[in-house]
Each structure stands twice: as C-alpha cells, then as structure tokens.
Chain A
C-alpha cells in the first residue's frame, strides 16, 4: 500500500500576536459589542408581517370578479406549469363565457412559484398573490381547491396593475 505523504503548505505563518489568540478574540468581541448599539434590522415575524411589493410572486390565486371566477378552464396554465401542479376540469355554464372550471386545484407542494401560469393565462384569471405563508400537516392539505384559490379582485389590484404596466 502506498502511503500518501502530503505536506501541508501554509501561505503565511501566524505571527507572535496571532499565536497568542487573546488579542484576536478581543478584536472579535469589539465588533459584536458595537452591533448591540447600532439600529436593529430584525423583523419580529410573525407578529410583524412583511408586505411584499407588487412584483413579488407569492402563491398563485384565481381572480374573483362579481362573485365568479374569471377563469374559463382553458387549461393553458395547467399545460404550461413546469411542475404539473395545476389540475383543471371544465364544464358548461349558462354565462356567456360558456365554460368554467368545475374543479380547479393547485398542488402547493409541487408549485415552484415561477409565475408561468399567470403569464400563459389568456383571461388574466390566475395571478401571483402576495401570500407566502404556506404550512401543511399532510400532502392532501397542500392541494388547494377553488375554495382556497379564489381571491376577490380588490385584493389583487396591485398585481394586476403591475402586470399591465410591466408585462
């Protein structure tokens, strides 16, 4: 068996004061203590919430207008979703839009918040919200149906405006 002899090469040897360690520790302490008297950046989450800007991509939601979803169940978001998170089942409605999603589900464990669904939607019916708080106790709980996805249009004004301006 060959024994591997590797010599440790130091680029720089420690000088005397450094070898003593004590002054180095004191230097570190100085930085720490100074921070205690500077202004604080820590946010007291969850007591104190962060409101993201309109460009933020939180969980995708369905736009609810006049008590109805805008969605026509075209399935384009479902097709474009790279994570296969969206499942749509269309059905016929008396409304002039002819079809609506009788079932619309997003598996939040699959969603990667890429925003492609929002981009593909021809009806501006699915948009990225500001909601980033997602916790579940089971896989089933992470599948959001229409009950959790529908969000009144008033709460989404920011985002819709942002999309019109910058997309």
Chain B
C-alpha cells in the first residue's frame, strides 16, 4: 500500500494501480475516452491528463502507476486548460452529426463537450471527409467521420471476444477504422463495441433511428437467452421494447452481453403472434373466450382424469415463482408426481458468456422442485405415457415443446391439453385450452442462472391488468406527463397474466386455498419451504442477484468437469 494525495485528500492505494483506477475507486471522475477498466491501456486520447507534482509535464492518468507520496491534481487550471485543448483537437474533424446520430444523448464526446470544452470552435477550414454508413458486419454500422480513434473497439475484439476483426489504416487525421478486405465484424459479441465506442461511430443496425435515447424508459432485468442470465436494461417507448443493453454485473456478465441475446430475445413481446385472450378449442377451432370461462373449462376437464393420468410440463423459461406454484398445483391439487421440463441445449458453452443451455432458469426449475423427484415420470416417460395412452391429460407451462413431428403426433392424440403461452406456436394450435401468459418483460419474478445466482426480472411492458404509473413501472418523460387521450399512452396492452396467477386462479376454482397476491409472496414461501433458497428475499437479491445454496438443491447433480 502506498499513500497518495489527489486534489488535497490522502488515499491509500495499491502500487500496481494507475492514477485513474485509484481515483475511480474513490469516486473521483477523471475524464477519459480510450481507457476502459477491462481493456488494456492504450493511452492515445490524452483526455485523462492530470498534473503530478514535481513532474515537468502533465501525465496521462490511465497509464501512470501510483507511487508513494505522489501528489495529483485532477482539476487545477493547467489540467483544465489541457482538457480544453484536447477537446478542441478532437472536435476539429468531428462532423456536426448530433441531430442524425443515434449516440446523441448518451455520447461521451457530447457530454464532455459540455463539461470540459470551451463551447465554441475556432476552426474555419474544411473538415476531413471520410466514409459514412459503412456496414461493418451484420449488426454494427460504422461512421468513420465520427471515430475519435480511441481503439477501444479494436482492443475489445482482440482481447475480450478474441477475434481480431478490426484495424486502423492510414495516418494522422486520415486514420480510418476498418475490417480487413472481405472480412466482417461478426463475432458473437460484436455489438458490445456499440456501448464501448465513446462516440456514435459504431451504432446498432437493429436499433438504427428507432428512437432517441431520451424518449425511452429503461428497466433493470435479465436476459432470457441462455443460462448465463446476463444483466440487462430493457428500453421501452410507447409500451414497446426497442432495444436491450448490457448492465454491469462483475459476477455474471461484467460489461457485456452476446449479440444473440441482444437481438433475439425480446421481439416476440411486441409481435403480432401474441395471444390476445384465453381460448378454448370448440369443434377443432380455437375460440376466444373470457378468463372465467377458460378457467371453468380447465377445472371441468382436469376433474375428469385420474391422478396417474395427469402430467405437467414445467418450463425453464418460466420464473422460479411460476414453477414453484405449478409444481405445488400438480402435486397438491391434481395429486400427480409426473412433472418435468424440457431441456433446450444448443452447441457448447464458450469461454466468455454463452451457455449451451438456451433457457434462463433450468437450475431454478430443478431447485423449486418442478421435476419428477423419486416417484414421478420424467419428460421422456411422460411422452411415452402419452403415446401408450396412460397419460391422458397434459398441462404445459410457457414452453413450445412441440418441436418435432413425433411429439406433435403424440400430443394431438391426447384427451386434454392445456397450455400457458405468450405467443401462438405449434403447441397452442393443437391445444384444448390456451391461457395467454405474460412474458419475462411483463412480470415480476426471479431466474436462477447456471451459477445458482437468483436474479430479479421486473415488468417493463404494461399488460391490460398493469398500469404503468400506479404499478410503479419505469416511466419515460412522455409516460409521466401524457394524458390518457394522448396517442403515446395508447400503446398495445396485451391481456396476458403471469403464469403463477393463472395457476392460482385454477387452484382456487378447484377449492384449494392458494393465497398469493404477488410474485414476492411466492418467493417468500419458497425461501421458507426450500432449503436451497433459505434466507433469500427480493431485498437481498437487489439488482445484482444473490447466490442460493447449490449443494442443498435436491436431485441436482452438478456436472464436474
């Protein structure tokens, strides 16, 4: 440990750290463009200049290690002057693109121009022109003029994604970022360069021009793309999800998320495929009915079967709460032990984030007991039971299990098929009763990732039964100040309910007292009844998640590598 002084205050610091790191650990912001906590130091932007006493010149805080007795000034007149000069230098060739630039509103260069520059330009010459609208790959758009040559994107590809796909060419103010001829920026993590880029040089092709960032609300949630459960923000305008961005969590995903999760896990929420009302199959056709009628019909059908003829398919896409209630329903109300979920594994785990298990909550489904245990039938046995006619009634939770002809053929023979699903799919088309269930972006709950970390999801999109204001959802400025007759408050609201609420309603209609008013109440019961979840609650989980006791999960054999 060494003692250093920053802006007149003493701090203890590890000698291996740089000035910018020590300052950051102590809540002092030193402006910077090229430095990033997870990338190697490149020291090219010079924005982080600070004064170190007894040093003739200013030094860059990102590349200077602290030393005992060092006295640092981060905001004296010399430093402020230097920063103004650097900003002027960076802005010389920067185009006046803010009005058409997607980064505007969350742009480091814009923010720093307000904070650390003079506010006017002395440059009257022609700016250097470079290519605009260059598609660097399937997901990322490049505007070379806007690039400030910080090299963060290049270092990300080399050091984190381990796919060297970006380089600089030419020299001086003609430097251009590019890919090698015939190459593309297409690694599975390519879109992280969008947040890394301190300016609008790299932007998302998917989100391009969809909205200005200040028009959206953002909600802390969890990606449902795989068992990693990357922490994300869900960005919503007019009740529609427009983009997902990674949210920092050093234990799970650090600063990153993969392109698959970013692009392919939210569009179904606002798609035309959403089921708009409960449906009952009447003479081969699905007819929209009221919730009461659908629940009554489910109760009527379920009572027709013997305990051993009933099975439930839980879902690794559903929350811990959903699966817990479902398991309780199948076991206590219907008296069956035949309950299991379908596994969705694709490819292999990689070395960064991506998991082969493409569901967000397999471990949680096991941990809350939505699995057969010792007596019940597992997924394959249930399927065989359906084929042989011993299983006559199946309740499926939020998972399209009808993925092969074999399964579809078996399921179409069954006497009673009840399905909870947010969207129309192969399974709902052959179901007898369909309940529209809320998506992960429309409810409260928790997922348990492959590490055993229990993480919270929160509603970002309002359904028919949710009011954005009264139910405390994140609000944009328009949401806050709009009146009910404003068009933007009239975004589509689907009449879907969280799966646990649907199951609770059916259980109550069968005269079992399921008294739950919120996902949190269910979670509290889980933490009382299930050892692995002991001592956990929503408060403790917070926005970074909390580990359950993985050793206490019943029937779970961790694979040892």
Contacts and interface: CB of A to CB of B under 8 A. Distances in A.
Interface of A: 72-76, 78-79, 84, 87, 90-92, 97-99, 107, 122-123, 139, 143
Contact of B215 (A75, A99, A123, A143): A75
Contacts of A74: 98-100, 104, 212
A143 to B, nearest CB: 8
A62 to B, nearest CB: 15
Contacts of B208: 92
B54 interface: no
Contacts of B214: 79
13 contacts: A74-B99, A74-B100, A76-B99, A84-B478, A84-B482, A84-B486, A87-B487, A90-B210, A91-B209, A92-B209, A98-B133, A107-B486, A122-B98
B260 interface: no
A92 to B, nearest CB: 6
A99 B485 contact: no
A162 B99 CA distance: 24
Nearest to B478: A84
Given A75-B212, A79-B212, A122 B487 contact: no
B344 interface: no
A28 to B, nearest CB: 48
A82 to B, nearest CB: 10
Given A79-B212, A84-B486, A98 B100 contact: yes
B209 A90 contact: yes
B488 interface: yes
Contacts of A76: 99
B250 to A, nearest CB: 34
Contacts of B485: 139
A72 B488 contact: no
The 5 closest A-B pairs by CB, nearest first: A74-B99, A90-B209, A75-B212, A122-B99, A99-B100
A87 B487 CA distance: 9
Nearest to A125: B99
Contacts of B104: 74
B531 to A, nearest CB: 52
B132 interface: yes
A97 B100 contact: yes
B318 to A, nearest CB: 35
A73 B208 CA distance: 13
B120 interface: no
B481 interface: yes
